[in-house]
Amino acid sequence: MRVLVVEDERALREQLVKTLQRAGYAVDATDSGEEGVFMGSEYPVDVAVLDLGLPDLDGLEVLSRWRSNGHSFPVLVLTARGRWTEKVEGLETGADDYLTKPFHIEEVLARLRALVRRASGFASTTLSNGPIELDISSQEVRVGERDVDLTAYEYRLLEYLMMHPGEVISKTTLSEHLYDEETDRDSNVVEVLVGRLRRKLDPDRSIAPIETLRGRGYRMRAPPADA
């Protein structure tokens, strides 16, 4: 999952980036509203954390430009302005959730997970696909009764695939959502990650959850209708 953080306070921005990276997100960050508008419009952002009190461009204006440019990724607004009039204004402009400073960093993580889950159309924090279960809160993965131990990138890859079941996803799209803008990307790495993921999820090749579509990308098998 790729997160865009727009926050002008350096210490807070760095803390957010570090925490989000530890939580398995690919993070792009900026301290400028104008750059935030650009990154939100040009990068494949899955969710954004937006501070309202930016020095060059008001956060609400950034949000408004994203929305008017047709970008519907969920946005968590951070602000020191705690009045309901301001909260209502922010939510009406297109924010999906609102967090007043100061906050616990865990609260940001919980709200972001909820937003991503909501945006993907899942009601529960546990995503299921056949015997595979992924808990986005605890980031635990189980296949049947077996716990699966995944690296951060393997987890990101699986989470993204499980949030888009049945969809053909190209290697480029996958690498864009797995890595931030600063990281060098190599589509071979995606192939290696998919291979490792398959071995960990399905060592005896009995369920084959991830299909390869030659020249097009990968597809997570759609879960059964009653799942």
Partner 1 sequence: MTAKGKRTGWSLRLRVLLAGAVVVALFAGLTGLAIERSFRGSVEELSRERLLARIYMLMSAADVDADGILTMPFGLPEPKLAVPGSGSYAAIAMTDGETLWRSESSLGLEVAYPTVQDPGSSRLIETAPDDSDLLQTLAYPVIWELDGGAEKIFIFQAAESRAALDAEFTAFRNILWRWLGGGAVALLLMQAVVLIWSLAPVRRVAEEVREIETGSRDSLGGDYPQELQRLTTGLNALIDGREARLQRYRNTLSDLAHSLKTPLAVLRAGDAGEAGSAQNVAEQLDRMEQSIEYHVQRAAMSGRSPLAAPIEVRPAAVRVIESLKKIYHDKPLDIECDIAPHIVFAGDPGDLDELLGNLGDNACKWGRSLVRISAHNELDAEQRLHLILSVEDDGPGIPDELREAVLKRGVRADSRLPGQGIGLGVVRETVEELYGGSVQIDAGELGGTRVRLSI
Please confirm whether the linkage preceding 55 is cis (ω < 30° from 0). Answer: no
The SS3 of residue 29 is: strand
81 vs 196 by CB, closer to partner 1: 81
Place of tokens 């959730």: 97
CB of 88 to partner 1, least distance (A): 5
CA atoms within 13 A on the CB side of 114: 10
Distance of closest approach, residue 84 Cβ to partner 1, in angstroms = 3
Nearest approach, Cβ of residue 67 and partner 1 (Å): 14
Residue among 83 and 216 whose Cβ is closer to partner 1: 83
**CB nearer partner 1, residue 57 or residue 109:** 109
Residue 141 and residue 151: Cα distance in Å, rounded? 11
d(CA 48, CA 62): 11
How far apart (Å, rounded) are the C-alpha atoms in residues 224 and 214? 24
| Dist CA 45 CA 2 (whole Å) | 5
Binding site for partner 1 (CB under 8 A): 82-85, 87-88, 91-92, 95-98, 100, 102, 114, 118, 123
Minimum CB separation from partner 1 for residue 85, in Å?
4
Q: How far is the CB of 125 from partner 1 (least distance, A)?
A: 9
- State in angstroms the smallest separation of the CB of 95 from partner 1: 8
- Which residue, 135 or 191, is less far from partner 1 as judged by CB? 135
**Distance between CA atoms of residues 41 and 33, nearest Å:** 12
- The Cβ of residue 84 has, within 10 Å, a number of other Cβ atoms equal to 8
Q: What is the dihedral of CA 54, 11, 43, 158, to 10 degrees?
A: -140
The smaller minimum CB distance to partner 1, of residues 55 and 102, is found at 102
Q: Smaller CB distance to partner 1: residue 1 or 157? A: 1
